[in-house]
Amino acid sequence: MFIATVIAARRLNENAIDRVEQILAQAGCEPAGWRWIDEGDAADVEFRQGLVNARAALRDAVEGCDIVVQAAIGREKAILISDMDSTMIGQECIDELADLAGVGREVAAVTERAMRGEIDFVGALNDRVALLAGLPVGKVAECLATRIHDTPGAQTLVRTMRARGALTILVSGGFRRFAGPVAQRLGFERVHCNVLGAADGCLMGKVEGPIVDAAAKLAALEQACVARGVDRTAVLAIGDGANDLPMIEAAGLGVAFNAKPIVAAAAAAAIAHNDLTALLWVQGISRAHWIEG
């Protein structure tokens, strides 16, 4: 059995659910009824066959709704692994830091191209970091305190999954001076990220140690599976940029969150109309069981 979870927080009605059933029937997927997860927020529509057909037919099919299609068995995941910038937080940290350094527009343009997969991530990161040379380290703390904000629903998602026994991992092409505090605030157990070189109270304009890129994110996913003794089907992976694609494609449920087109097109699921708590409904977890952030 398969499930299409229909989500439109505080605005979902039965007309939208009926429309999903009609589309599934037209695609030959044999819908088998539906039920509320939380009335007015999210509902599960069951169907008997045609997972691939269902995903194709339901993509952007109901205005204002996110629809995630998956197998019914194993929908609640044992591992959460997520990108940070523009995913767990609403900003790109390097862009915000560059703005404080007076090179914001130049750096933001490179970031956008890298996240769209148009240029090499590692080279783009090194080029952007080089422009930060000489910036006082104190500007990082200022940026974190004044410009970096959690994505709505992030803390609730992470803390609820952790409370239910999931391993929670933040993987970021960004920097430890941001990722460490963000991970602690949201409730992540592990953090994989880059380190900004600094000396004499200023940034050196380089990254120290191996760079966390797309391959490193995928490796973190694989290591987590070994640590938990599960396979990739037990993983929920979330990201928005091209460097998130390998882990998104490897996960049992890979989710493009407010993502760049290349990521949204490749991911098994996309969230574009709701906040991150949608991914609790996707796992069949009703609001009564959330650990609110």
Give residue-wise pLDDT tens across range 213-257.
Answer: 999 999 999 999 999 999 999 999 999 999 999 999 999 999 999
Active-site annotation holds for 60: no
User: Is 99 in a helix, a strand, or coil?
Assistant: helix
Tell me the H-state helices in 59-153. 93-101, 104-115, 121-130, 138-147
* Structural domain contains residue 4: yes
Active-site annotation holds for 85: yes
> Is the pLDDT reported for residue 101 higher than 90?
no
Q: Which of 67-76, 79-88, 114-123 has the lowest mean pLDDT?
A: 114-123
* Structural domain contains residue 214: no
User: Is 37 in a helix, a strand, or coil?
Assistant: strand
Q: What is the pLDDT of residue 118?
A: 86
Its pTM stands at 0.94
From the list 85, 95, 240, 244, the catalytic residue is: 85
Measured distance CA(108)–CA(128) in Å, rounded: 9
Greatest CA separation for the chain: 66
Q: What is the pLDDT of residue 15?
A: 97
Phi, psi of 136 (to 5 degrees): -60, 135
From the list 38, 83, 95, 244, the catalytic residue is: 83
Q: What is the pLDDT of residue 115?
A: 81
Q: What is the pLDDT of residue 119?
A: 76
Domain count, the chain: 1
User: Is 6 in a helix, a strand, or coil?
Assistant: strand
The DSSP 8-state label assigned to residue 230 in this structure reads -
Phi, psi of 230 (to 5 degrees): -130, 165
* Structural domain contains residue 249: no
Measured distance CA(240)–CA(132) in Å, rounded: 24
* Structural domain contains residue 16: yes
Q: Which of 98-112, 165-179, 227-241 has the lowest mean pLDDT?
A: 98-112
* Structural domain contains residue 116: no
Question: Considering only CA atoms, which of 48, 25, 45, 43 is closest in space to residue 33?
Answer: 45
* Structural domain contains residue 8: yes
* Structural domain contains residue 239: no
Band the pLDDT of 39: cuts 50, 70, 90: very high
Place of tokens 């004044």: 146
Phi, psi of 146 (to 5 degrees): -110, -20
* Structural domain contains residue 145: no
User: Is 208 in a helix, a strand, or coil?
Assistant: strand
CATH code for position 37: 3.30.70.260
Segment 117-122 shows an average pLDDT of: 82
Question: Considering only CA atoms, which of 3, 81, 85 is closest in space to residue 37?
Answer: 3
What letter represents residue 147's amino acid? Answer: R
Give me the domain span that covers residue 52. 1-73
